[in-house]
Structure 1
């Protein structure tokens, strides 16, 4: 597309300076698209016209610029000019979606963009794959929301495969240990580490009582449901994993991994241990009596008919002070008389549960149960 002759002479450097000043000041009758080419030429590098050009751009009403960037802009300098020096979301959106936009312009413009349009940049995978520095700038942006920064991390690992050297080394060590038979094969399928999501952080919130119980538990040797001590090196390895890796290991890992992970404070990790297809009834009974598990874990156990057919699991669930009262009230009548007598004397469980258990025993003794 041909430019206005005056603008062409300005771009070629043959227009007299006084006339050039008038042009970049908006004082000559040239089309807006052509004027923007002149302003970009003057403002995107140090020239005698820079200050005047930026002043002119700032004074242009949004209505004058609306629609200018719906079609290709060649050369694309005006796109960078607007992205760096205007703040209207609708205008910036047009520029960011323009077919003439380049990765170089995006990289140069991100620090100047308002937070409201950063997602458009993040969604343009072609651009940041060409210039990965764009992801760094999005992550560093002071107006970038949490979800933007989380997705930046995901794209680094999942799309660009930008894995730190220490992570690569750890990964190779894990694969060697799996091949040697020292680690469950599920370790070989672990995803790359990622920062915690907001949901994962919220899933770690626990009561002071549970936190104190967990600290006390941490002082004892780590043993499984059979009382066998777990190798310390495995526990140390699990401790190094990020939340998303622990969740995956909880779903696919072996018995020792499950025993370690069910002690995690994170609710999502505990819940996914229960979803592990290899979990045994012995483990479920062991977990049902733990006082450091989230209520949701106990609800999962109580909702599984096959598990609840086992007396040891029912007993553990009812006697666990962490079990929600409605669940305990639903199942306590299945206890043997000897265990129900223990329940009546247990000051850790809810008063209402003990009272109902006592009343049930008295009715049974009178032949009414």
Structure 2
């Protein structure tokens, strides 16, 4: 379920995000067809936009046909003020925007920290600054285990960063080695392999298990053999024969954590269906954050009462996911949804659905009680009229 909006005619040429992200009355400020003074106002951050919207507008204006507008937008972004900095931590800001801002603001630790901690910021951008960022930012990058395993260049670049402490690099490399990462070109990783597995590991590394590429190829071969190639849309995937499913399950269990994360990020729907049930939090988190995940998969996870708590948190905190009314309803029926989040969602329901929830025995009692009170309150004026 991609979070990056598609380009529309109202976006500047080549811009990977759409002007439709902005409030309707503000889109003229990024429209190449609008008068240059209107666009320049936004490039100077002189229009009343929310922080997240301002970041998107400045990014879009770097694709403007007018060189002056492009340069002004870039200068404004590089000198970003605290007034708009809250947008840097907003997970719903498109990845290309955050990825553009990170190198610009890499020298400002407070801003770089927000961007590095934002899970939507692309791994590639984090890897780029990992080679020369400050000790503080290096520490934050190294502590993000999912990023470290998902994008190997983060480790490579951290290991060349003169500001990264030896203790940090030892910890990052030891964790990566235990998780199945093998980088023969990184001396620190080779040293970590010896520390973790002993001197003999330098000559004969332990079997890392199946790779993501091998498992994905097997899944694709099974789909081709059934005559029903899997589509990455909302349709059903081709069913896998039980014997092959058992074999694949056993092979996936033998995969290293790093390879599972790679498969979760780049694999197909069938691969994600195996991995969303993984007991390792990093693996199932990689599944729900996969850029290829579909709305149907998110709906299944939102309905799953045994889903990992972190996966559920990512779903209910995502504006992109909760735009779907079905996903919102599924979350409300999940007993693991925090009451405070459920109450927020109740206010957005249609009256009939609110009534159904107030009578649904599967809905958590506390949430059901709140729904009942809301229904009663809505019916009060009608009783008085009678």
Structure 2 length normalisation: TM-score?
Answer: 0.40
Q: Normalising to structure 1: TM-score of the pair? A: 0.42
Flag the structure with more relative contact order, 1 or 2, with Cα contacts below 8 A and sequence separation at least 6.
Answer: 2
Instruction: Give the structure with higher Rg (CA).
Output: 1
